[in-house]
Copies of this chain bind each other. A is one copy, B any other.
Amino acid sequence: MRVLGVDPGLTRCGVGVVEGTPGRPCTLVAVGVIRTDPDAPLPDRLLRLDTKLTEYIARFAPDAVAVERVFSQHNVASVIGTAQASGVAILAGARADVAVHTYTPSEVKAAITGSGTADKKQMTSMVTRLLRLEVAPKPADAADALALAICHVWRGGTQARIAAARTRVEEKGTRT
């Protein structure tokens, strides 16, 4: 399973692609940051974000896109821009007919470190170790995007197995 993780942001949007199966170490496919000029008009910034994300999806053909869920508890000054960027990221996945899932920061932290309150340093350290990288991915937005992708490989895989098990039980129920 190949997953594109997106840490949405208007000035810096982290993107990371990993490949893996639940419970096993994932492999790094690609990582980067899409930047847009804070002085550019908003339509140009959103268009650049959309173009770059669409390129990532076309190039790496992920099976799913995992986007960080935006909360109103986020930094009030930047929450609108972050929400607009997340809307563009979710739409880019949907337009390419790729399944899109959103995860809260604490869901991602819990999946990667076992603790929903892990700090940045711990997260980056775990992402580096889980992907068996020699140096930590930088900047923080890139590491966060990889964490989202790993989270989805593991959680998505579990959810898929639960769904499949449910289907089997229901089919059995129908047959008896």
Which residues of A are at the interface with B, using a C-beta cutoff of 8 A?
42-44, 46-47, 50, 70-72, 76-77, 79-80, 83-88, 90-91, 93-95, 99-100, 102
Contacts and interface: CB of A to CB of B under 8 A. Distances in A.
A152 to B, nearest CB: 14
Candidate in A71, A76, A80, A99 with the most chain B CB atoms within 10 angstroms: A80
B88 A47 contact: no
A84 B100 CA distance: 15
Going nearest first, the 7 A-B pairs with the smallest beta carbon separation are: A84-B87, A83-B83, A87-B87, A43-B94, A47-B94, A43-B100, A46-B91
A46 B91 CA distance: 6
Nearest to A73: B76
Contacts of A86: 84, 87
Contacts of A102: 42
Contact of A72 (B71, B76, B85, B88): B76
Given A83-B83, A84-B84, A85-B87, A95 B50 contact: yes
A116 to B, nearest CB: 20
27 contacts: A42-B90, A42-B102, A43-B90, A43-B91, A43-B94, A43-B99, A43-B100, A44-B94, A46-B87, A46-B90, A46-B91, A46-B94, A47-B94, A50-B91, A72-B76, A72-B79, A72-B80, A79-B79, A79-B80, A80-B83, A83-B83, A83-B84, A84-B86, A84-B87, A85-B87, A87-B87, A91-B91
A87 B83 contact: yes
A148 to B, nearest CB: 15
